[in-house]
Structure 1
Amino acid sequence: MRVSPSRGRLLLSLTAGVCVIALASGCSGPESGSAAPEATPSDPARQGPVSRATNDLQDDYQTVIKNVLPSVVQIDAAGGLGSGIVYDSDGHIVTNAHVVGDGKAFKVTVATGGEVLGASLVSAYPQQDLAVLKLDEMPDGLKAAKFGDSDKVAVGQIVMAMGSPLGLSSSVTQGIVSALGRTVTESGAGGGTGATIANMVQTSAAINPGNSGGALVNLDSEVIGIPTLAATDSRMGDSPAPGIGFAIPVSMVRTVADQIIKDGRVTDSGRAALNITGRTVVDDDYRPAGVALVSVTEGGAADKAGLRAGDIITKIGDTEVTTITSLSEALADDEPGQKVTVTYQRDDTQKTAEVTLGEI
């Protein structure tokens, strides 16, 4: 699946229909044939069940906004605007790597308003499209967001997105979790990192510039992901596909952010690799046909399994490999130390090797 990061984007849009139930005349009342008294908005006890449910859901939305929005920030980077989340009480901000780009210093504005704050880059991890900033000083009243549990995220859950789509700070929209466990590869063009990211949360979200790095939250006021990508439709000139957006799951956000804050970099990615540099090759009909090994890291996974520069990988397990992107996607759900069978060509002869995967 092709996706486009476009610096900072997510605006959820899901229109909720409201059904109005009318009470029939004569159903109840002090006298036969008399009309039932009309329910009024000021009398919750006399509202229908749908109306009460709507009011309850509205109250839930407003509570989440009150709890989470003060922890969402707008990030002004050299390449444009994005969003971020206050990660802890020390002033760390977590966002997307494609939001910060090559920048080192940033202007940060809290979604609820206030003075512009300075922040500097702690570290970026483009392989997972995540980055951590640190505020120059922690202002009074700024609070860290509450982060949820990826294992409790389920398809159909109502979610809200908070951020600065198109520079409209403090924007709040809503949708649902559409699917889980998606593996997507973002474009390397237009400021994207080209990362292949596994286990993403798919949401019914229209993604707009400025929302990336913001908060995708549940109705318990917990951040469950960072909105990052929008699917694109090649038939429509790679325009965003409505209702298909992706967020990095909170489990990966916390794994990466905690390591950056502690060590200044990611020390244990948990992501599998062959430890090679490769390029896509084509067949006689100019169709992608595999990944040629340009170089093999000495002592790395491929080297230990006997692969060498010039070999062309065509399969990982039973999964066909035709491009460098498909190779990344084939490895995205695997773990370091896991054994996989690699099918490759060497001097027009097909061979296989059992490879114990290394780490990115």
Structure 2
Amino acid sequence: MRRLLLPLTAGLCAVALAGGCASSSAPPPERSTQAAAPLARANELQDDYRTVIRNVLPSVVQIDASQSLGSGVVYDSKGHIVTNAHVVGQEKTFKVTSATGGQPVTARLVSTYPEQDLAVIRLDNAPQGLRAARFGDSSKVDMGQIVLAMGSPLGLSGSVTQGIVSATGRTVSEGRQGGGTGATIGNMVQTSAAINPGNSGGALVNLDGEVIGIPTLAASDPELGGGSAPGIGFAIPASMVRTIADQIIRTGKVTDSGRAALNITGRTVVDDAYEPAGVAVVSAPPDGAAGKAGLKAGDIITRLGDDPITTITSLAESLASRKPGERVVVRFTRATRAQETTVTLGEM
């Protein structure tokens, strides 16, 4: 919310008048101009909000599955809608309602990609005039940009909240509670715009009317019993949304995730004090990235590049910030002996 700070001279004049100020002459023209400037800027910003909402909200929908309720964004005129994988869950059919109202229509799952918490569904009968959203350039998203989050929080269809981009490049691990996929997602956009249950899968929009991300997570505060931490939400960047959605629409599955992997199966191990101490390799296929570099079952990974590895989650978070083909030094323990090797990362 933007506050208007009226010039101090206006307040002083009001006090003087209340005390019987004799002069009733108008203030000098330049003072009137100065006083009006903040109001004019506020009105311009308000008009920007209204324009963005008017242009984008028709491309936002509410998705009603039998076990969940969330939001989605119209991706193209053929009726494809992008949303979160945790919104669709295990469901195959859905009822979809435009954020601007109207009768619900049926939709079916095209495919889901839980590793990035994204999914695509398609309307059975796309109405004429269906308006697809415009997706922006993730590389131009920067801290301080004003953004609007659009969706159906708590089932309140067509709701809009306002905030800024608080940070970019966040790596966030999603829990499995409440239907979460457990995914670790890199390069997320952090925002102060309120992200509440039901906002998942909706649109995070800049003032140019472009979708810059798909709201997915709200931070939780352990001191609040796991409740949401106000003003800390995360959205999957538009570039990743397009990468995944385009593949699903074209081939029905994701064949090129763009996400780095060691190509192992692993588990967290603890030390003598029962503290997490690394990731034990359960299996490392010889044709995978780790296997080619000489890692094998029983090795305990303790560092990836400069990142200490103590849990399977910390390993996933380190990999989420890297790209397939990147060469990285992996430190590990084999039969109590510390060793290291250089791995050319594979793809998830």
Q: Distance in 2 between the 1:359 and 1:100 partners?
A: 25
The structure 2 residue matched to 1:194, chosen from 182, 191, 212, is 182
After the TM superposition, which residues 1-360 of structure 1 pair with which residues of structure 2 at under 5 Å, given as runs?
Answer: 15-21=1-7, 23=10, 33-36=23-26, 48-360=36-348
Q: Secondary structure at the match of 2:4?
A: coil
Secondary structure of the 2:282 match is strand
**Alpha carbons of 1:236 and 1:38: their partners in 2 closer, same or farther (altered >3 Å)?**
farther
Percent identical pairs in the alignment equals 67
Instruction: Report the residue type matching 1:289 in the other structure.
Output: A
Q: Is the 8 A contact 1:77 1:106 kept in 2?
A: yes
Cα distance in structure 2, aligned partners of 1:47 and 1:90: 50
* Aligned-pair CA distance for 1:34: 3.3
After TM superposition, give the deviation of residue 47 of structure 1 in Å. 6.4
Give 5+ residue unaligned stretches, structure 1. 1-14, 27-31
Aligned counterparts of 1:223 and 1:99: Cα–Cα separation in 2: 19
Give the aligned length: 337
- Work out whether residues 25 and 33 of structure 1, in 8 Å CA contact, stay in contact via their aligned partners in 2: no
Distance 1:64 1:175 in 2: 14
Structure 2 unaligned blocks of 5 or more: 15-21
Q: Secondary structure of 1:143's partner?
A: coil
d(CA) in 2 for partners of 1:272, 1:206: 31
**Cα drift, residue 240 of structure 1:** 1.1
Q: Is the 2:162–2:194 Cα contact (8 Å) retained in structure 1?
A: no
Residue 317 of structure 1: how far off its partner (Å) = 1.3
1:178-237 residue CA offsets vs partner (Å, 9 max, x unmatched):
011111111122211111111110000332110000000011111000000111112222
- What is the deviation of 1:294? 1.1
Shift of 1:25: 5.4
Q: Distance in 1 between matches of 2:329 and 2:120?
A: 36
- Maintained 8 Å contact 2:161/2:194: no
Report the TM-score, using the length of structure 1 for normalisation: 0.90
RMSD, matched Cα: 2.0
Higher RCO by CA contacts (8 Å cutoff, separation 6 or greater): 1
CA–CA separation in structure 1 for the residues paired with 2:306 and 2:57: 46
Contact 1:69/1:170 (<8 A) preserved: yes
| Alpha-carbon offset, residue 276 of structure 1 | 0.5
One-letter amino acid of the structure 1 residue matched with residue 24 of structure 2? S
Q: Scaled by the length of structure 2, what TM-score is found?
A: 0.93
* 1:256 to partner: Cα distance: 0.6
Q: Distance in 2 between matches of 1:120 and 1:251?
A: 24
Contact 2:163 2:194 (C-alpha < 8 Å) held by counterparts: no
Distance in 2, matches of 1:103 and 1:335, equals 32
Cα 1:345/1:25, change in 2 over 3 Å: closer
1:25, 1:36 within 8 Å by CA — same for their partners in 2?
A: no
The Cα of 1:56 is off from its aligned counterpart by 0.6
Contact persistence 1:25–1:34 (CA under 8 A)? no
Q: Give the corresponding residue for 1:4.
A: none
**Would you say the 8 A contact 1:125–1:131 is kept in 2?**
yes
Aligned counterparts of 2:72 and 2:38: Cα–Cα separation in 1: 36
Q: CA deviation at 1:153?
A: 1.0
Residues 44-74 of structure 1 show CA distances to partners (whole Å, capped at 9, x for unaligned) of 9896111111111110010001000000000
Offset of 1:35 from its aligned partner? 2.8
Deviation at 1:17, TM superposition (A): 2.0
